[in-house]
Amino acid sequence: MSEAKDFRDLINKQRKVGDEQFQADSKERLKKISQTKIKTTMIGALSAFEKGFGFLMGLDEDGNSTGKSLSPEEQHMRDVYEQVRNEVLDLGNNQIRNLFTELELYDVKWNRYHMTLPVMPQGPEENNE
């Protein structure tokens, strides 16, 4: 009887360790996904700004450098843009760090992907004679 209890205790202990590891992995997964989404938002916004206002900084309609030397006004606009760009990226990175700090206060469990397949009853095969 003692062997069965020991075995049950061992199984329960392993299950608990597995659940704790799953929660830790779930939190790391959420952190990674959240970080990617925030960075994508920041980079996408900066890219849209470059496409829309790039002509002021000597960029073409795709936001790429034209290769021409910049006028003093274009250089000034590029300098201002670079300063604003750095501030935007710094703010975004601060928000990522704040999100990670906040997530430490939560238990996270990924519900995974679920799919329910319908089971359709089949009748006897028809005889086609």
29-68 confidence digits (pLDDT tens): 999 999 999 999 999 999 999 999 988 998 887 777 878 8
pTM above 0.85, yes or no: no
CB under 8 Å to 60, separation ≥6 — which residues? 54, 66
Q: How far apart, in whole angstroms, are the C-alpha atoms of residue 91 and residue 54?
A: 22
Q: How far apart, in whole angstroms, are the C-alpha atoms of residue 8 and residue 55?
A: 71
65 phi, psi to nearest 5 deg: -65, 140
Q: What's CA 84's distance to the chain center, in Å?
A: 24
Residue 100 predicted with pLDDT over 60: yes
Residue 97 predicted with pLDDT over 90: yes
pLDDT of residue 126: 59
Q: How far apart, in whole angstroms, are the C-alpha atoms of residue 19 and residue 10?
A: 14
Residue 85 predicted with pLDDT over 90: yes
pLDDT of residue 59: 85
